[in-house]
Amino acid sequence: MTNIRNIAIVAHVDHGKTTLIDELLKQSQTVSGHRELAERAMDSNDLEKERGITIVAKCTAIDWEGYRINIIDTPGHADFGGEVERVLKLVDSVLLLVDSFEGPMPQTKFVLRKSLELGLRPVVVINKIDRPNGRPDKVLDMVFDLFGDLEADDEQLDFPVVYASGLGGFAKKELEDESSDMRPLLEAIIEHVPPPKDDPEGPLQMQVATLKYDEYVGRVAIGRVFRGTMRIGDRVVRSQRDGEQISARITKLFGFKGLDRVDREEVSAGDIVAVAGLEGILPGETICAPDHVDPLPMIAIDEPTVSMVLMINNSPFAGLEGKYLTSRQIRERLDRELEQNVALKVETTERAEAFVVSGRGELHLSVLIEQMRREGFEMQVSQPQVIYREDENGKKLEPIEEVIVETEQDYAGTVIQKLSERKGELVRLDMNSDNTQRLEFRVPSRGLFGYRSEFLTDTRGTGIMYTNFAGYEPYRGELQSSRNGVMIALEKGDTTTYALHNLQERGTLFVEAAEPVYGGQIIGLHSRDNDLVVNPNKKKQLSNVRASGSDDALVLSPKVQMTLEKAIEFIEADEYVEITPSSIRLRKAELNHSLRKRK
């Protein structure tokens, strides 16, 4: 057991965790030479590859000079923070990755706080030191200040530092050292990460941190054996969150090596493993020996902060593009998601066809919806709403986000003004070495709905904005809606170039010529603040009289492409996003024009 090291790699989104793991897999020769390693190999599902982010924590292990290093790659986005919290319970230390230019970001602070609370002593890796504008010395000072702000103890403050470039494939202990490989980082892990202190002789005790679903063996629980030994065929007892104890039999055991799960006959204390045969098991539960049931404390999971109503698609185009349409099929899919996505909550409503789905943020919910749509589901979702709470005096509290903005000086004033209008509060302003400004705000979560696209426009696409949930604070008052009205299709039909050419002067279009639309569908953003019912299907009246030049080709501006996130951010309280495997449409909740006016 002295040759095992258990670590998690934690960092803010896009600071290079997954790329660094690629290099460790290659240089330790864990992935055999004939096998081609894809870029960001640990990001295994399509959504992760497309978005360039890690969504689900994943385990790997490398063998190096007689040592076995179990590594957990964690998500860097705040909406998936629940994953990070759980896997930190499995490890003995963390590699805290920080970008050599950006320095500590909101998620760096979040994951570091959780690590320090668990008593872990991090190894700091200043990554991307080959960036032309890198400032590793300054970033090291910022990291030290962050440790101080989070009240790290003396041992944690004396953290080891490694300088690295995941993309360049090298690491150094000092900036002036020469290096062409990752050896200094691997040596630092062996030296500074303590070996497991678990007891292999005692009665079995294993805690589950995360889940995967396997179509052959069913639910697979991933966790760490803290005590004892487990073999295939053993009878065990799992202790549930509510205290109930359920007997089960182990049908499969897996270890990890490189990108693969490896079948194991036996696992023992100190190792991170996967177990099959425990139907219905959830993260945080403990697997114990039947004659010695000794559950570990449950892993606390942060409560959701944002909810939306997810319902069956009842538009005139329902059932034309998807395979799964009914409320029963949607409910079954949500129940399957709850088996592995523990930060998610699903509640029923008075209407059988609608469910309230709550999560850690817009991204958390939109990733689920995107996965469902790719599987062939059709559905509609409402505008996201924040989840309010009350303190002991009955005072209304709302979720607040910590927002960090990096932008050129010319645009900083506009950003400050816009976020102030959204009840944001500027708490810090720093000047970077390249004359950009770093602004820190505390903004209500609801104030950020729909702001990201506005922010990119205001900063001409050059600004960077990061957010992280900071906690609940007293309600900050009503927000003024800043969106204009919309253009609504009058009736069902196919749009025509002739009609859209006249309408594009009234605002921005979300549809193009020859596209089917229905009455009540939103086809564009109006240039004024009132909603406008229009007829995009109008055809040109043909007559035998022609004016000179009247038949010249009409030119339409390109339509605005609505992504799922953009659409969810765009809608107001009386609107829905209709989602099918091949389309994203915006619509009014009430399609009938006269009923909508009356309401």
CATH number at residue 160: 3.40.50.300
Does residue 336 lie within any of the structural domains? no
**Tens of pLDDT along 362-374?**
878 888 898 899 9
Does residue 306 lie within any of the structural domains? no
Number of domains in the chain: 4
State the CB neighbour count (10 A cutoff) for residue 45: 11
Same domain for 174 and 79: yes
- Say what the alpha-carbon torsion angle 335, 337, 341, 342 is, to the nearest 10 degrees: 0
Same domain for 214 and 172: no
Instruction: Give the Cα separation of 123 and 109 in Å (integer).
Output: 15
Instruction: Give the Cα separation of 201 and 289 in Å (integer).
Output: 12
Does residue 490 lie within any of the structural domains? yes
Same domain for 219 and 140: no
**Tens of pLDDT along 423-449?**
999 998 888 766 788 889 999 988 888
**pLDDT reported for residue 301:** 67
Q: Give the tokens for residue 2.
A: 């002295």
CATH number at residue 250: 2.40.30.10
Q: Residues forming the annotated binding site for GTP?
A: 14-19, 127-130
**pLDDT reported for residue 523:** 94
Q: Residues forming the annotated binding site?
A: 14-19, 127-130
Domain limits for position 124: 4-192
pLDDT, mean of residues 34-60: 50
Checking if the pLDDT of 53 tops 70, the result is no
Burial of 486 (0-12, 13-18, 19+ CB in 10 A): buried
Does residue 437 lie within any of the structural domains? yes
CATH number at residue 426: 3.30.70.240
Does residue 443 lie within any of the structural domains? yes
- Domain end position, chosen among 246, 265, 288: 288
CATH number at residue 555: 2.40.50.250
Checking if the pLDDT of 342 tops 50, the result is yes
Same domain for 181 and 42: yes
Same domain for 277 and 249: yes
Same domain for 214 and 188: no
Q: Are strands 205-214 and 584-588 parallel, antiparallel or unpaired?
A: unpaired
User: In the structure, what pLDDT confidence band is assigned to residue 39 with cuts at 50, 70 and 90?
Assistant: very low
**Tens of pLDDT along 369-401?**
988 999 999 999 999 999 998 888 889 999 998
How many alpha carbons fall within 13 Å on the CB side of residue 456? 6
**pLDDT reported for residue 314:** 93
pLDDT, mean of residues 130-157: 87
Same domain for 565 and 451: no
Residue 244: φ, ψ to 5°? -70, 145
